[in-house]
């Protein structure tokens, strides 16, 4: 599916200025936002898997916090480590404006992992898409 159609679908979501918790903080205290594309708020279900250095496969589920044509920010209990290559399936549910569901199958790399809330075991992680197929 062409990226233009995906962009139109994502525009149905709410554009947000920054991810939850604000932009990253570098060592000198300056705020830096490293994103290169517009992200849209989206709580789409996601399943993912990755292999560790021994080849053992791990699986997890969660939902997206936001998504763009370049990547996604995910909330889940089990998270892959930074640098891991992950296989993702994201379901963009039907809406009244678009009464069909899209499935995104992607290969991605984990860019960062953050604790969502110290009182929870869930974490957030950011991925950059390497390849994506829209079904």
For the chain, domain boundaries: 3-134
Q: Is the pLDDT of residue 59 over 90?
A: yes
CATH class for the region spanning 3-134: mainly beta
Q: Determine the pLDDT at residue 109.
A: 96
pLDDT tens-digit map of 1-54: 445 555 555 554 444 333 343 333 333 444 445 555 666 677 889 999 999 999
Q: Is the pLDDT of residue 74 over 50?
A: yes
Please indicate whether residue 87 or residue 103 has the higher confidence score (pLDDT): 87
Q: Determine the pLDDT at residue 93.
A: 75
Residue 3: helix, strand or coil by DSSP? helix
Exposure string over 70-79, b if 16+ CB within 10 A, otherwise e: ebbbbbbeeb
Distance (Å, rounded) from C-alpha 98 to C-alpha 70?
22
Q: Determine the pLDDT at residue 120.
A: 77
Q: Is the pLDDT of residue 83 over 60?
A: yes
- Over residues 50-79, the mean pLDDT reads 92
pLDDT tens-digit map of 104-128: 899 999 999 988 777 778 889 999 9
């Amino acid at each position: 599916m062409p990226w233009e159609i995906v962009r139109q679908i994502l525009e149905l979501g709410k554009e947000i200025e920054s991810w939850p918790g604000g932009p990253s903080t570098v060592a000198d205290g300056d705020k830096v936002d490293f994103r290169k594309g517009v992200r849209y708020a989206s709580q789409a279900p996601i399943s993912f898997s990755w292999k560790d250095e021994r080849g053992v496969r791990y699986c997890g589920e969660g939902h997206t916090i936001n998504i763009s044509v370049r990547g996604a920010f995910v909330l889940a209990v089990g998270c892959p480590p930074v640098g891991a290559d992950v296989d993702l399936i994201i379901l963009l549910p039907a809406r009244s404006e678009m009464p069909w569901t899209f499935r995104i199958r992607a290969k991605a790399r984990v860019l960062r992992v953050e604790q969502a809330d110290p009182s929870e075991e869930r974490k957030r992680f950011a991925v950059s898409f390497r390849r994506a197929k829209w079904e």
